[in-house]
Amino acid sequence: MTACSNKDQAGDKSEAKEDSGEKTTLHVAALESAYGKEMWENIVQSYEKVNPDVTVELQIEKNLEEVVRPNMQAGDYPDVLLLATNREEALTETLIKEDGVENITDVLDMQVPGEETTVNEKLLEGFTDTLATNPYADGETYLAPMFYSPTGLFYNAGLFEEKGWEVPKTWDEMWELGDKAKEEGIALFTYPTSNYFDTLIGSMLYAAGGTDFYSSAMTYEDGIWESKEATQVLETVEKLAEYVHPNTVANANPNDFTKNQQLVLDNKALFMPNGNWVVDEMKEAPRAENFAWGMASIPAFEDGGNRYAFTFFEQIWIPKEAENKGAAKEFIAYMYSDEAADTFLEAGAVQPIKDITEKLSGQKQTFYSIYDAEGVLPAMGTFASTKPVPGANMGDTLYGSIDSVISGDMTYKDWQKKMEEVSDKLRPAMN
């Protein structure tokens, strides 16, 4: 899906068309998620009122990659794509690796359509200082952050109140609680699938060495996985294996993962890494008496240390081959307007803009207010993009080894060695 060689000429034609005074037809392709289609249809209607010179042609599909990929291979690209990274089809990552995503750094300084403020002034701090938006680690933004979900350790707050237990702030406190719970036949920990460790380990890397260390790990710095900070993280995961519910590994697959989540609802396990989507995912499931969802940050490694809660967010971006880049940037800027944010909120989607938590209520406000707690910071980001290297995938190596570590079939040292080997292979392939 390599970008064509005449892209600059295509861009010139696009700008000429947009400046000609003709009404622009903007092609927007969005993934249909749990938020539904109507949300996007309402966004389109409101945007066309704000910008009457644009007609939005909306394409929304649950299998968006399968639908747009053939068209893109034939040279027919949407102007805007709402399609996140870390999806199985990896279409967004493919475009990133092929230098097929438009630089949208200038959008941050654009005025939000219908408002007096700029995009940068509306966005929550830190959301455009991450490899999830700046995949080439060059200080430039290529993907804009959209609907965000804080993640953490989910638990039954009702059980903790009943037992008089406090949520641990350090790993030492976690082990103490794990020993206490074990005496009552309750496991300390479970996890839906090994991929749910992405937010857990990400937060642990931040807690072990801070932002610079995390960035070094994500950009394949030589020796990073053999450092004392990385060793501390991997050793902790190995120790966690002693406290994992015995059924976890067998159920940690796409067909049975809800059985592991059910362990928390049944008071058979205390904590699991997850996001606030788990509430709707398990809304029909049976649960213990007095069950109430709670969410905690990942513990610190020492008393008084920073605790982190990883933030997952979707991304919106412009293909480099888009025909109407200027209009596409205006549309993305509108995504951060109060009007758009309210439309998204009605469907349950939360934009990363300032004061958004004041518009939330109940359980949702509790989850999104996690960063209001003292010592809890947001963690975000992902591995830097590289050119394809056969057999070398950091995600597969890091998270794909979890089940083996938890079951005792792999030591943290073997895991660590694999991580460093893959990191060494990918470092020269960074874009």
Same domain, 170 and 225: yes
Q: How far apart are CA 300 and CA 206, in angstroms?
A: 10
Is 0.85 topped by the overall pTM? no
Note the pLDDT tens digit of each residue in 179-225: 999 999 999 999 999 999 999 999 999 999 998 899 899 999 999 99
Residue 7's pLDDT is what?
40
As a whole number of Å, the end-to-end CA separation of the chain is 17
Residue 1's pLDDT is what?
60
**Domain membership flag for residue 371:** no
Strand partners, 123: 353
Same domain, 31 and 172: no
Same domain, 137 and 263: no
Q: How far apart are CA 348 and CA 344, in angstroms?
A: 6
CA distances, 341 to each of 132, 326, 345 (Å): 21, 22, 6
Residue type, 331: F
Residue 21's pLDDT is what?
63
Which residues of the chain are modeled with pLDDT < 70?
1-21, 431
Same domain, 26 and 170: no
What CATH number does residue 421 fall under?
3.40.190.10
Q: How far apart are CA 221 and CA 137, in angstroms?
A: 13
- Per the structure, the count of domains in the chain is 2
Domain span at residue 322?
Answer: 7-149+311-363
Residue 109's pLDDT is what?
98
**Domain membership flag for residue 295:** yes
Residue 6's pLDDT is what?
40
Residue 4's pLDDT is what?
43
